[in-house]
Amino acid sequence: MDHVKVLQDLLAIDTTVPPGRNYEKAAAYLEPLFRQAGFETQVVEIPPEYAEGRPGRVNLVCHRRSPGRPRLIFYTHVDVVPAEGWNAFQPWVAEGKVFGRGAADMKGGIVALLLGLRAVKDRPLDYDVSAIVTTDEEFSQASQIRYLAQFLQPVAGSYVFSLDSSFGFVAVTGLGLLQMDIRVKGKAAHSGLAHLGENAVEKAILLVQALLELKERVVLRKSSVDVHPETGLKKMEPRLNINVVQGGLKTNIIPDSCLISVDRRLIPEESMAGAEGEIMEALSSVSGVRWEIEKVFRIPPVPPVRGPVIDRLEKLIKEVTGQGGQYGEMGSGDLSTIVVREWKGQDFGLGVVRSECNIHARDEFVYLKDIEDVAAIIARFLLP
């Protein structure tokens, strides 16, 4: 398999979410490649009711079954974040790197998986193996993963190997996530008659100030879980960020509404109820402001995974790359809480993402050597 061409072909398929483009095209391109790696394949169209009403969510499920062996499911996603201002879907190769939106996050990981599977195509494996290529990871996909479970049975007690992860170490946990949209209410009026109105933007600033005071306390906390030195951190840390403030129609109109969007990341030692309660307490401490919670999205944190399988993967990473370790990731996703809390399985990761790869930014790239190394690790991991 010419993995450079395969990656360029895959990067050229614009799978941006939102809105969720060309998922069927991407699945159609990948399906024969998994078949060539010795897998049975099934294209699964997710019913809109399992995708928050969004149509066209086409996933790919692949199997090389060995009943009775430990259950192993490889996880990938084909969707990418939006890109503007560069040739994001016209990939190019330079100095051992492939550039394009999704190169590292995470189409390069999909290619590494294909390359690793092809290397062991004709050899007996140590696991009962499946692989999934999912959609909407960059948006929300919990309902879709739950729907896919029927095509992956048994999932109870399974090992789930996520390729949506960093290079050079085993990712053993991630951050929990709490996102809240807070609608501040006011009363519209002419700006010259402001005394007849109620300025929702100015009221929102009071809530923002209370949230920033909470943030000062939150960010002082530290997890017991190490993070990779490349992050510039030593331990996992919680986050509280106010990433959106939207309000006002025109400079001469007193605004009657303002939206505040809060993004709270939780370390494994924190609870969702505790984090949500702190935010509600901070908001409620401000008098004279009318507000309501408009939308809440939650991904509970999970404890780090440990055990012989994790230790073996770490050893293989060390042998192939000279790196290693077991670290927490400073990111969040729907997968871990489903695997750990619902399937009672173990979720861990290794991918091709490095901090310098510009994921979610301009000129995203992946190192070809990293793809080849991850492929070699996967192949050795699968063999007895």
pLDDT > 90: percent of the chain: 99
Which pLDDT band, with edges at 50, 70 and 90, does 220 fall under?
Answer: very high
Q: Where are the domains of the chain?
A: 3-174+302-382, 176-299
Distance in angstroms (rounded) separating the CA atoms of residues 116 and 254: 60
Q: Which residues contact 59 (CB under 8 A, 6 or more apart)?
A: 23, 27, 43, 44, 45, 46, 132, 133, 134, 135, 144, 148
Write the burial class of residue 93 (CB in 10 Å: 0-12 exposed, 13-18 middle, 19+ buried). middle
**Quick one: tokens of 243?**
């990433």
CATH 3.30.70.360 for domain 176-299, yes or no, is yes
SS3 category, 231:
helix
Q: What is this structure's pTM? A: 0.93
- Between CA 188 and CA 194 the distance in angstroms is 9
pLDDT in tens, 222-247: 999 999 998 999 999 999 999 999 99
Token pair of 175, please? Answer: 């951050």
Interatomic CA distance for residues 39 and 273, integer angstroms = 42
The predicted-structure confidence for 141-150, as pLDDT tens digits, reads as follows 999 999 999 9
Domain 3-174+302-382 indexed as CATH 3.40.50.720: no
- 3-state DSSP call for residue 253? strand
Residue 15 has a pLDDT of 98
What is the average pLDDT value for the chain, to the nearest integer? 97
Q: What is the pLDDT of residue 137?
A: 95
What one-character DSSP code corresponds to residue 375? H
Bridge pairing between strands 176-185 and 97-99 = unpaired
Helix (H) or strand (E) holding 295: strand 290-299
**Residue 324, pLDDT score:** 93
What pLDDT was estimated at residue 382? 98
- Residue recorded with tokens 């974040």: 81
Q: Which residues contact 262 (CB under 8 A, 6 or more apart)?
A: 178, 179, 180, 181, 182, 211, 240, 241, 242, 243, 279
Distance CA 375, CA 109 (A): 9
Binning pLDDT at 50, 70 and 90, where does residue 308 land?
A: very high
pLDDT score, position 166: 96
Give the integer Cα–Cα distance in Å for 177 and 266. 6
Q: Are 59 and 150 in contact (CB under 8 A)?
A: no
Burial 111-122 (b: 16+ CB within 10 A, else e): bbbbbbbbbbee
